[in-house]
């Protein structure tokens, strides 16, 4: 028998935090696109961040969660990018493989405490880190098809995320 899980305050706090981190993450990648020499690939990563953020907008609406202003989150992302702007592409891809594994763990922990009806949205959030890691691994292996995981993710979730964002924007 499935145990009914209700939304706890720790769950709601993490949900809002992770949404905000995806928005600042989008700005982070756009800022890095100017420094890393792989502009198009870095922009793909930024687009994946936006889709991931958009995937949980229905949950923010459901629970009445209010993110900080977009300009504040953008500045956080841009400031964070400055820490990595001197890296080369290989260093950055190595960072993605190592660090983003921790993000997958964080999202899986969020799924574990989430109400079951929220899981479909959260799985899209978790999946975006998995495809970013897969992309980075393929980049490090010089795989000519390295962007395919990112493209597949974008194609799979673009329409639904755009629909959710359209509903959310008037409320911010």
Alpha-carbon 104 to chain mean position = 10
pLDDT at position 120, please?
95
The residues spanned by each domain of the chain are 9-171
Nearest CA to 93 out of 104, 83, 84, 102 is that of: 84
CB 36 within 8 A of CB 89: yes
pLDDT at position 35, please?
87
pLDDT at position 37, please?
84
pLDDT at position 165, please?
52
pLDDT along the chain (172 residues), means of 10: 72 97 96 90 96 94 95 96 92 96 96 96 97 98 97 84 49 34
pLDDT at position 171, please?
37
pLDDT at position 169, please?
46
Domain 9-171 indexed as CATH 1.20.1260: yes
Rg of the chain over Cα atoms, rounded to whole angstroms, equals: 16
pLDDT at position 118, please?
97
Nearest CA to 16 out of 50, 48, 61, 51 is that of: 61
Whole-structure pTM value = 0.88
pLDDT at position 158, please?
74
**Under 8 Å CB-to-CB from 166, ≥6 apart: which residues?**
none
pLDDT at position 4, please?
55
């Amino acid at each position: 028998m499935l145990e009914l899980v209700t939304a706890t305050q720790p769950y709601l706090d993490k949900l809002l935090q992770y949404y905000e981190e995806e928005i600042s993450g989008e700005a982070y990648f756009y800022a890095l696109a100017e420094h890393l020499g792989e502009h198009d690939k870095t922009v793909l990563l930024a687009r994946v961040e936006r889709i991931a953020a958009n995937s949980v907008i229905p949950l923010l609406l459901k629970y009445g969660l209010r993110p900080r202003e977009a300009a504040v989150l953008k500045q956080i992302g841009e400031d964070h990018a400055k820490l990595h702007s001197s890296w080369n592409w290989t260093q950055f891809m190595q960072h993605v493989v190592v660090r983003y594994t921790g993000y997958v763990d964080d999202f899986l922990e969020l799924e574990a405490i989430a109400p079951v009806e929220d899981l479909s949205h959260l799985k899209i959030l978790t999946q975006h880190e998995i495809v970013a890691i897969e992309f980075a691994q393929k980049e490090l292996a010089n795989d000519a098809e390295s962007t395919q995981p990112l493209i597949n993710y974008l194609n799979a979730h673009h329409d639904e995320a755009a629909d959710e964002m359209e509903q959310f924007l008037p409320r911010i």
